[in-house]
Amino acid sequence: MTTITVNGSAHEVAVDPTTPLLYWLRDALGLNGAKYGCGLGQCGACTVVVEGEAVMSCVVPVVALDGKHVTTLEGLGTADAPGPLQRAFIDEQAAQCGFCIPGMIMRAEALLARRPDASDAEIRATLQTNLCRCGTHMRILKAVRRGADAMRAASP
């Protein structure tokens, strides 16, 4: 039996082992933060963090994640108590349609966990894999910068 820990809680996976992680998160666990964009690993809307790495969950089968830790957008905070990066995206009004934002946040979260003082160039290079059709790239960049500042200020 495949067991995956999601946002700190262990779950036994009772679906076909080839089911993409994205489908299982949304359909079995009701975690709808990760979005279905292309289903082909090309847009980044479905990005989650697996063992500290940003992963496009639409192209990873659940069987490949046995024993692994997954963090989704829901693991960073709630609507009432958003995490620092989520708060920064709200404060910068980074979203237009908002569809890409969960993936952007998760990819940026993985970067900042590794590189808390990431440069603008690093942030841009990292987020290149995530597409935004509305073109709010500059606001997204500002939000990641703001979130990074908040996270550094909050860390001991």
By CB under 6 A, name the binding residues for ligand FES.
36-39, 41-46, 56, 58
Q: What does the angle CA 130 – CA 135 – CA 138 come to, to the nearest 5 degrees? A: 85
Looking at beta carbons, which residue is closest to ligand FES?
58
**Closest to ligand FES by CB, 4 or 43:** 43
Q: Which of 107, 95, 97 is nearest to 137 (CA)?
A: 95
**Closest to ligand FES by CB, 59 or 90:** 59
Q: List 130's β-bridge partners, or say none.
A: none
The CB-of-48 to ligand FES minimum distance in angstroms stands at 10
Query: Which phi-psi region, left, alpha or beta, contains residue 30 (left: φ > 0; alpha: ψ -120 to 50)?
Result: left
The CB-of-93 to ligand FES minimum distance in angstroms stands at 24
Are the C-beta atoms of residues 102 and 44 closer than 8 Å to each other? no
**Closest to ligand FES by CB, 46 or 148:** 46
The CB-of-95 to ligand FES minimum distance in angstroms stands at 17
